[in-house]
Structure 1
Amino acid sequence: MKTIMITGATSGLGLMLSRHFDSLGYNLITVGRDQKKLNSLKKEISKKNRKNSFALDFKSKMNYMKFLKIIKNSKKKIDIIIHCLGGGFGLHNPIINHDDLNFLFHINVSTAVGINKIILENKKYNKNLKIIHIGSVASIESTASVGYSMVKASLVAYTKTLSKSLIKKNIFLHCVLLGAFEYENNSFERLKIRNKKVYNKFIKLKLPRKKIAYGEQFLGLFDYLISENGNPLAGSSIVADFSETNSFRL
């Protein structure tokens, strides 16, 4: 059975995909920042996948470098990488400062770039490697904060340009641009708890269906992308948003 690495595995999309692919029998390597939530996940997943679950907060450079060392020293070879780690972290000021932008870039982009580099340069992957980055509709439309939009847009550029270099080696990259959805402890579930008025206003004004998507509705997309059927979409940014965006670009 293939091995899937999932970052951001303790909440939201990463948590959902960890549960899903474990239930299908895949070998998992999971990393998330919250020890308590990771312990909870380890109780749910199969015994074979518990030993490869790591609680490391990549805000700390030391933790990030520790994970890179774990990958480099591991005997496991990876078939699929899904980079779910990211977020805006409440940094809404449009006049964003240098440190905040660097922080957002580190969490949303640089960590994934570094993980990819270690895996690729040390040949820690099997034939037909799949790399999936999680972007956002904010990658293609001015709908979120300046900082978040900048870093998510850069994932689109990174995926496209790196894919051009790696496709000849049968390494396939995708960027999935998700719209608003709810899943356990993701940003929209937290917003619903924190400010129901703003949550309802967003649904009314931004979502054509007047209802929010649920994470489980995207599972089929990820099943498709990790299969050979998804190979022709290499380098593409796939918008999955139930017509939330107004952009014609993708």
Structure 2
Amino acid sequence: MAKTILITGATSGFGEACARRFAAEGWQLILTGRRRDRLQALEQELGTAVSRTLVLDVRQRQAVQEALGDLPAVDVLLNNAGLALGLEPAWEVDLDDWETMVDTNVKGVMYCTRTVLPAMVARNGGHVINIGSTAGSWPYPGGNVYGSTKAFVEQFSRNLRADLLGSRVRVTYLAPGMAETEFSQVRFKGDDERAAGVYADTEPLRPEDIADIIWYVANVPAHVNINALEVMSVYQSWGHLAVHRQR
């Protein structure tokens, strides 16, 4: 019997790549996203691999509970929906941007997990895979609340593992570094030139790279739990400590 993966934020980037990767391996897909046209296009492309599409904003608690509360058995929940907005310093940022990041990256993960997890526990099987970011561990100017939300996702994942000890439900936290998706276009609110500059003259991760890793993580033997993975392009690493010098 085919396994089922529920992917939030399936209409672009990592989520879309994962939909294609898991469909190619014979899995059934439940796909959510805010853009109906993209969901429909993906469903048309992947055909019978898609068992259900749900137009869903993970920030809406009641909508999440209604949409995901009566699903058939889900083997993998991929909490992928997330975003960054702006790169301003903390004292200049738009508070609406901070709230949107918290509502999506923190509350959205909470709502989806809390809705799907009880059924996994009841049947003693399943896997929650949470997409974080290297920004959750390594700060950078302008990362303020975005990095903080991803730090939450990491700690939430670890605490889920603690709660689930003794069950066969697995939890994995995956922290990608720089990857070329719509991420920067969203962060810079449609400024394509500025977004392109993020990836200029280098080779970032691709969505397909992350999809391959998620496929591997989801298919290790049932007694194996990959707690956390951090992955960067070979062209990205950590910098030296910043020091301000007064002249």
| TM-score using structure 2 length | 0.82
Structure 1 contact 79–127 (Cα < 8 Å) conserved: no
Which structure carries more helix by proportion?
A: 1
Structure 1 contact 129–171 (Cα < 8 Å) conserved: yes
Which of residues 69, 73, 78 is equivalent to 1:77? Answer: 73
With over 3 angstroms needed to count, the CA separation of the structure-2 counterparts of 1:92 and 1:128, relative to structure 1, is farther
Correspondence 1:220-239 to 2 at 5 A: 220-229=212-221, 232-236=224-228, 238-239=229-230
Paired residue secondary structure (1:174):
strand
Structure 1 contact 22–46 (Cα < 8 Å) conserved: no
- C-alpha displacement at 1:245, in angstroms? 3.4
- 1:55 is the counterpart of 2:55: yes
- 1:241 is the counterpart of 2:232: yes
CA distance in 2, matches of 1:235, 1:241: 17
- C-alpha displacement at 1:233, in angstroms? 4.3
Structure 1 contact 137–245 (Cα < 8 Å) conserved: no
Correspondence 1:133-152 to 2 at 5 A: 133-143=130-140, 144-152=142-150
> In angstroms, what is the RMSD of aligned CA positions?
2.8
- C-alpha displacement at 1:141, in angstroms? 0.6
Residue type of the alignment partner of 2:54? F
Match of 1:120 in 2: 117
CA distance in 1, matches of 2:183, 2:94: 23
Structure 1 contact 101–147 (Cα < 8 Å) conserved: yes
CA distance in 1, matches of 2:209, 2:150: 22
Residue type of the alignment partner of 1:33? R
CA distance in 2, matches of 1:67, 1:201: 33
Structure 1 contact 180–188 (Cα < 8 Å) conserved: no
- C-alpha displacement at 1:90, in angstroms? 2.8
State the Cα deviation string for residues 165-218 of structure 1 (Å, max 9, x = none): 2132011111111111224xx224777x844466446555xxxxx322222223
| TM-score using structure 1 length | 0.81
Structure 1 contact 136–178 (Cα < 8 Å) conserved: yes
Correspondence 1:160-175 to 2 at 5 A: 160-175=158-173
Residue type of the alignment partner of 2:126? L
Match of 1:88 in 2: 84
CA distance in 2, matches of 1:7, 1:33: 9
Match of 2:245 in 1: none
With over 3 angstroms needed to count, the CA separation of the structure-2 counterparts of 1:102 and 1:198, relative to structure 1, is closer
CA distance in 1, matches of 2:199, 2:50: 38
Query: When the two structures are aligned, how many residues end up with a matched partner?
Result: 234
Paired residue secondary structure (1:138):
helix
CA distance in 2, matches of 1:92, 1:18: 33
Residue type of the alignment partner of 1:167? L
With over 3 angstroms needed to count, the CA separation of the structure-2 counterparts of 1:231 and 1:88, relative to structure 1, is farther
CA distance in 1, matches of 2:85, 2:197: 21
Deviates more, 1:40-49 or 1:155-164: 40-49
Structure 2 contact 76–127 (Cα < 8 Å) conserved: yes
With over 3 angstroms needed to count, the CA separation of the structure-2 counterparts of 1:65 and 1:180, relative to structure 1, is same
Match of 1:219 in 2: 211
